[in-house]
Chain A
Amino acid sequence: MPAQPPTQDELYQEAADAYDAALERLARAYEADAEVRRDLLQDIHMALWRSFEGFDGRCSLRTWVYRVAHNTAASHVIRQRRNKSQTLVGLEELESVPDHREGALTADRRHALERLMELVQSLKPLDRQIILSYLDGLDAASIGEITGISPENVATKIHRIKNILARRFREGGCYGE
C-alpha cells in the first residue's frame, strides 16, 4: 500500500522542528522592536501552517519554508514602511559608502551581532534575504531558488556581502562570551 502523504499539520510540525531557530533569526533581522517581532514571528508560523495546505513537493521543504518566511516578512516591511519613513539601502550602495566606525572585532560576539543586525536591518528586502541566507549557511544555488535571482547574480551579491563584512568586521582572538 503506498505511503500516505504527510498532512498539513505534520508538514508544519516537521518544518517548525527543523527551522524554528532560523525563523526566529529571520524575524529578528526584519523587525527591531521586540513586541512587533513577536507578532511577526507568529504571523510567519501562521502563514507557514496555512501554506502547507498547498505544498506539493515541487521544491524542497527548506526552500518552501524560507520563501514563505521571507515573503511574509517582506510584506511586513512594505506595511511598516508606509507608517515609518525608513530609508533602506541596497548592497551596491552599502559597498560604496565608507564606514567611519572602526571595524567590530568578531571575537566580541555581542558587539559583532549588534553591528551585524544593524547592517542587515538597513538593507532592502531582497538584499536582506540574500545576506540572511548567506549567514545561515545556504549556498548560491539554494539562495537563487528561494529568491528567484540567478545563481550568477547571487554570487555577485555574495561577493559584495563579503567585501562589506570584511570592511566592517575584523578578526579577533578567541570568542569572549
Chain B
Amino acid sequence: MASESPPNDRLKSVWQNQPSERIRMSVDEIRRRAEKFQKKIYWRNAREYVAALIAVVFGGFEVWLLPDALMRVGIGLMIAGMLYLIWHLHRRGSARSLPADLGLASSLEFYKRELERQRDLLRSVWLWYLGPLIPGPVVLMVANARTNPDHLRRIGLSLASALFALLYVLVWMRNQRGARRLQSRINELNALEGQR
C-alpha cells in the first residue's frame, strides 16, 4: 500500500493504541456460556410449549361450553391462529442464533442475506401474522350479529369490524414500508456486488 500522509499515519496510531479494557474469557468460560445459552433457548421453548398447551386446554374447554356452534368455530379458529403464530415465532426464534458459516461468508454476502431474511419476513406478514388471526374474530362477529338481531348492537359490530380492518391495514402498510426500506439497502449492496 502506498505510504500514508502524516495525519493518517497518526490517526492509525491513535486508533491502534487506544486504551484497552482487557475483557478476555477463557475457553472454559466460553464453553460454559455456550452451554448456558443453549439451556436458555431450551427453557424458553419449553415455556412457550407449556403456554400453548394451557391455551389449547382452556380454550378447548371454553369452546365445549359454548351453546352456539358458530361461536365454537370462531373460538376454535382463534386458538388455531394463535398456535400457528406461536409456532412461527418459535421457528424464527430458533433461527435468531447466529449461523455457523460466519467465517465462510464475506461481510457483503452475510449482511445481504440478513437484510433479505428480514425483508421477506416483513413482506410475508399477511401469511404468518395477520392472515391466521383474521378468520377467528370474523366468525365470532358473524356469530354475534346472528345471535343479537338488535339494530344498535349490529351498528356496534360494524364499527368494530371497520376498526379491526383498519388496524390490519395499518400494520400491513407499516411492514411494507419497512420492507421497501430494506430493499433499497439490498439494492445498494447488489450494486456493490455487481461491481466485483
Contact = CB atoms under 8 A, between A and B. Distances in A.
Interface of A: 9, 12-13, 16, 20-21, 24-25, 28, 38, 41-42, 45-47, 49-51, 53-55, 58-59, 64-65, 67-68, 70-72, 74-75, 78, 90, 106-107, 109, 112-113, 116, 124-126, 129, 134-137, 139-140, 145-150, 152-153, 162, 165-166, 169-172, 175
Interface string B1-45: 100011110111011101011111101001101100100000000
B105 interface: yes
Interface of B: 1, 5-8, 10-12, 14-16, 18, 20-25, 27, 30-31, 33-34, 37, 98, 100-111, 114-115, 118, 185, 188-189, 192-193, 195-196
A171 B33 CA distance: 45
A129 B105 CA distance: 14
A17 B25 CA distance: 11
A135 B15 contact: yes
A21 B17 CA distance: 9
Contact of A12 (B1, B27, B111, B189): B27
A24 B23 contact: yes
B25 to A, nearest CB: 5
B27 A106 contact: no
Contacts of A112: 10-11, 14
B148 to A, nearest CB: 42
Nearest to B115: A78
B100 to A, nearest CB: 6
Contacts of B23: 24, 38, 41-42
A71 B110 contact: yes
A106 B104 contact: no
A126 B111 contact: yes
The residue among B1, B101, B103, B106 with the most chain A CB atoms within 10 A of its own CB is: B103
